């Protein structure tokens, strides 16, 4: 699945070319300002307002708290006060901005297995996805498009009671292991350590406060 809007949202140069009905006026500037994305990590991340959806982000020894900027179903955009931005689809980080290397886009071959945890159950599963990576928004020689990842997802119980541990091992254009911890009853992922690019430590994502589930309005019989 391609994310054309979020791809451009995470590249400041794309902002002026998106119509207002797709990307609200000024949103790109509000996220990044002008020029290349430059993010700062907070020495002491502030707690989000009570009840506001938020993620705790860690990259090595750097910390930040990202609050929800935009939401469309399971697709969400989060940003820290210092300018680190992540786009998620469900529990998966599918794009980033403000890091020295940017995960610009993610395309799944079918449905992301993380979105199918309730039906998969314990075991091993295989999936493929393609990502685009960038070290600069303006230098094509520092971009890698169409990086294919062949991944094995292993789902099993974690040492902690009522918790599932999902281990994703990937080969191909990059070699890495990501980990996800989910509630064994609801299958909601509450912590993860995710690969977001070459030469970067895993991005640790912890849910401080989850967004409210989408309201389902029953149709009249």
Average pLDDT of the chain is: 83
Tokens of 9: 């949202």
Tokens of 37: 């994305």
User: In whole angstroms, what is the distance from residue 55 CA to residue 114 CA?
Assistant: 18
CATH class of 4-209: mainly beta
* Reported pTM: 0.80
Query: So what's the pLDDT on residue 20?
Result: 39
- Structure confidence by residue, pLDDT tens digits, 7-27: 454 444 443 333 333 334 344
Query: So what's the pLDDT on residue 49?
Result: 79
């Amino acid at each position: 699945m391609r994310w054309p809007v979020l791809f451009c949202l995470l590249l400041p140069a794309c902002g002026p070319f998106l119509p207002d009905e797709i990307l609200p006026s000024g949103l790109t500037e509000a996220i990044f300002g002008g020029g290349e994305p430059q993010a700062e990590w907070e020495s002491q991340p502030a707690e989000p307002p009570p009840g506001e959806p938020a993620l705790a982000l860690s990259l090595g020894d750097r910390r930040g708290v990202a609050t929800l900027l935009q939401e469309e179903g399971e697709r969400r955009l989060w940003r820290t006060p210092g300018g680190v931005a992540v786009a998620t689809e469900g529990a998966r980080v599918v794009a980033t901005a403000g890091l020295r290397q940017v995960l610009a886009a993610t395309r799944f071959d079918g449905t992301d297995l993380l979105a199918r945890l309730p039906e998969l159950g314990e075991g091993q599963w295989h999936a493929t996805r393609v990502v685009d990576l960038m070290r600069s928004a303006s230098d094509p020689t520092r971009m890698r498009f169409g990086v294919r990842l062949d991944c094995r997802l292993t789902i099993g119980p974690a040492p902690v009671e009522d918790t599932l541990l999902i281990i994703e091992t990937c080969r191909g254009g990059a070699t890495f292991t990501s980990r996800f911890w989910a509630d064994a009853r609801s299958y909601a992922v509450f912590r993860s350590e995710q690969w977001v690019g070459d030469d970067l430590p895993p991005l640790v994502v912890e849910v401080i406060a989850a967004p409210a589930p989408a309201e389902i309005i029953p149709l009249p019989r």
